[in-house]
Structure 1
Amino acid sequence: MSIFLLLVILLSEEIGLVNFSFLVGAQANERRVVAHVTGDIIIGALFSVHHQPPADKVHERKCGVIREQYGIQRVEAMLHTLDRINSDPKILPNITLGCEIRDSCWHSAVALEQSIEFIRDSLVSSEEEEGLVRCTDSATTPVRVKKPIVGVIGPGSSSVAIQVQNLLQLFNIPQIAYSATSMDLSDKTLYKYFMRVVPSDAQQARAMVDIVKRYNWTYVSAIHTEGKLYKNQDILDIV
């Protein structure tokens, strides 16, 4: 059992609301684990629980190793946040928030595949509202489908977020990013359903330049790291 599945099961025992479904990719038979919390309002989420597919597995959309810190922590944070909100009657009285968390694997093809699942649920729910419900083979009782999502949180990568937004906006589904900082996403004429909670690269650069000017610094070193290990350190000297 993967660490991701084990963690979410343990969290579900605390909140008592998580159901799981297993999706199979069309090409790779890649099992996708989906965390679903029932509620009156469903929020979609795309977190990079696994690393992007290795070069020899890209065509199969087979994701890499699990990202325990970056991916698991975000899943845990969302489930914990929903639990805190739902347990406080002063925040959303008589309304329960739910979620559907999917793995983007930090890769556009996988993220788009998972976004299509969000859209499909919304389309099926629309048909249900119009009376086009599905029935079982043994009875005429309608099969209740999942509620549509009201919006999507994530994904983390700017390039992947752009691809997802190009798809979601066709169906008027809002998207809010937590770490996508590309300046391109600030163009509301192209990405009208996109929002974010972090400043763009341009705003961050202006803030850094203002600090340098304010203190009359003549030398600055910037260190770039990947993960908790110091890999490929790039030092940029500004004189």
Structure 2
Amino acid sequence: LLLMVGLLLRPHECKESVYVGLLFPFYSLKHTRVGAGIDAFFAFQFAVREINNKTDGIHDDLLPNVELKYLFRDSKVDEGWAVVAALDLIQYTTTGVAALVGPATSGAAKSVQMVSKQFAVPQIGYSTTSKSLSDPDVYPYFMRTIVDDGMQSMVQGAFIQRMGWKCVSLISGDDIYSSMGASELENYLIEKTDVVIAANVKIINGQENMDFVISRLEASRCTLVVVWLQVIDLDTLLRAAYAKRFYGAGKVQWFLSDAGVSVQDRLAQTMPAAHVAELLKGALSTTSTNGEGTDGHWAVLQRWQQQPSTVREPPACLYGEDDDPARPTNVLSADHDLNASTPDECIGVDFPTNPMSMFAPYAYDNALVIAKALHQLMEVDGHKQCPVPLYYDTDAATHPINGGGTCFTRQAPPGATLSVSFDSNS
């Protein structure tokens, strides 16, 4: 299933420099580093650098007369912070922004869309997977490069069916990502299988005591547990399971949504690696991308890993200066604790050993899609003022699903690094 769209541009004078507003989570409100958000930010920055460089043989024919720039804000994995940050980027920066990238979660993206559509500013997601965001009537200025959660739920359901499992316990949160993903899976199991739902446990996001969840799972007497939770809540649940020794063969078979890929790094920040391995041994997780990709994806990854590591503390790290693509420091300055009396932390990436986390390739594609839309608008169509709406789209395509019917989507612009497909026969 290829998934992506065109770009709507807010009316503004199209000058030689075009700014994009970035909403990436660097630290949560609990002061925990968000590795996936940081990787995605640097992937977007990396793409912008390649687009703007006209002598490296990469995207050199794209936007020859326009420099793509960006401003960023830390969205803190919080809807309120994301909305305030979006409004700040749209209304209170001197340059304004032609589009918004992010925020990371579907719930926050929905809230930001309520702001961005009022100002006719398009919004593009790299990790926002809620199926409901595909409703053009409610979210007319939203688009994404990643497949929606309906695909994850379908894959989970098909896998459970293929394995012949007879029962499942479901755990989900009250946010949109978690509740809708679990609901899609539940519907699939009810409509297409005879699998018994032994327990259906719903938690409140941010809940710290998970003992009752573990008790419900133990009482269900079903070892297969499918979890749809945000990374922070999944982290809390898994730590509670470890404390209760609820893990391992014969006790639980974890089947996690794509949050399961990110939670490993989060657990490893404070748990010994051996304990994390013991807790997650045999766990399954769905992910939009984690492994083989297109030739374009591998080429980007190779160039990404050729960059020197920046994880060591640099001599200077100034917020407001490291957001300029003209200064490609690969260092990010962020307020990690919301305390003005403490210095910002400098964030770097060990590029040679970092294979790009799950969402980073989609963030790279966000920059590429925006650049291609701007190129069509400014270089090909010759617009001096950006009309609204303007869709940049290649020929739409249909793709077979489940060997039967078809699913109609807009296709990714040529040059996007990812092509995601689902083959029910594999």
Q: TM-score range by the shorter chain?
A: 0.5 to 0.7
Question: Is 1:109 the counterpart of 2:57 in the alignment?
Answer: no
Letter matched to residue 96 of structure 1? E
Counterpart CA distance in 2 for 1:230 and 1:166 is 30
Give the TM-score of the pair, scaled to structure 1: 0.59
Q: Which residue of 2 aligns with 1:156?
A: 104
Give the TM-score of the pair, scaled to structure 2: 0.35
Q: Verify the 8 A CA contact 1:104 1:111 in the aligned structure 2.
A: yes
Letter matched to residue 165 of structure 2? T
Deviations 1:54-105 (A, max 9, x none): xxxxxxxxxx415252333233222222111111422322221111111111
Q: Which residue of 2 aligns with 1:50?
A: 27
Question: Is 1:232 the counterpart of 2:234 in the alignment?
Answer: no
Alignment of 1:85-234 (within 5 A): 85-88=51-54, 89-121=60-92, 145-146=94-95, 148-213=96-161, 215-218=162-165, 222=226, 226=231, 231-233=236-238
Structure number with larger C-alpha Rg:
2
Displacement of 1:168 in angstroms is 0.6
Equivalent residue of 2:72, what SS?
strand
2:40 to 74, 79, 96: 74
Displacement of 1:203 in angstroms is 2.4
Question: Is 1:41 the counterpart of 2:12 in the alignment?
Answer: no
Q: Which residue of 1 aligns with 2:291?
A: none
Displacement of 1:154 in angstroms is 0.4
Q: Which residue of 1 aligns with 2:216?
A: none
> How many aligned positions are there?
165
Q: Which residue of 2 aligns with 1:127?
A: none
Alignment of 1:18-37 (within 5 A): none
Change (3 A) 1:216 1:232: closer
Q: Verify the 8 A CA contact 1:223 1:236 in the aligned structure 2.
A: no
Aligned identity (percent) is 26
Displacement of 1:221 in angstroms is 5.2
Q: Verify the 8 A CA contact 2:130 2:149 in the aligned structure 1.
A: yes
Displacement of 1:152 in angstroms is 0.6
Q: Verify the 8 A CA contact 1:51 1:106 in the aligned structure 2.
A: yes
Displacement of 1:237 in angstroms is 7.5
Change (3 A) 1:93 1:50: same
Q: Which has the higher strand share?
A: 1
Counterpart CA distance in 2 for 1:182 and 1:68 is 20
Q: Which residue of 2 aligns with 1:56?
A: none
Q: Verify the 8 A CA contact 2:113 2:142 in the aligned structure 1.
A: yes
Q: Which residue of 1 aligns with 2:57?
A: none
Alignment of 1:1-16 (within 5 A): none
Cα RMSD, aligned residues only: 3.0
Letter matched to residue 112 of structure 2? V
Letter matched to residue 97 of structure 1? L
Change (3 A) 1:165 1:79: same
Structure 2 unaligned segments of length 5 or more: list them: 1-15, 55-59, 167-223, 242-251, 256-426
Q: Verify the 8 A CA contact 1:46 1:152 in the aligned structure 2.
A: yes
Change (3 A) 1:119 1:83: same
Deviations 1:121-148 (A, max 9, x none): 48xxxxxxxxxxxxxxxxxxxxxx42x3
Letter matched to residue 18 of structure 2? I
Deviations 1:152-210 (A, max 9, x none): 11001111111100111011111111111222212211111111222222222123323
Q: Which residue of 2 aligns with 1:18?
A: none
Counterpart CA distance in 2 for 1:112 and 1:154 is 11
Change (3 A) 1:224 1:206: closer
Q: Which residue of 1 aligns with 2:376?
A: none
Deviations 1:29-64 (A, max 9, x none): xxxxxxxxxx71111110111202xxxxxxxxxxx4
Q: Which residue of 2 aligns with 1:28?
A: none
Change (3 A) 1:109 1:221: closer
Equivalent residue of 1:167, what SS?
helix
Equivalent residue of 1:149, what SS?
coil
Letter matched to residue 69 of structure 1? G
Structure 1 unaligned segments of length 5 or more: list them: 1-38, 53-63, 123-144
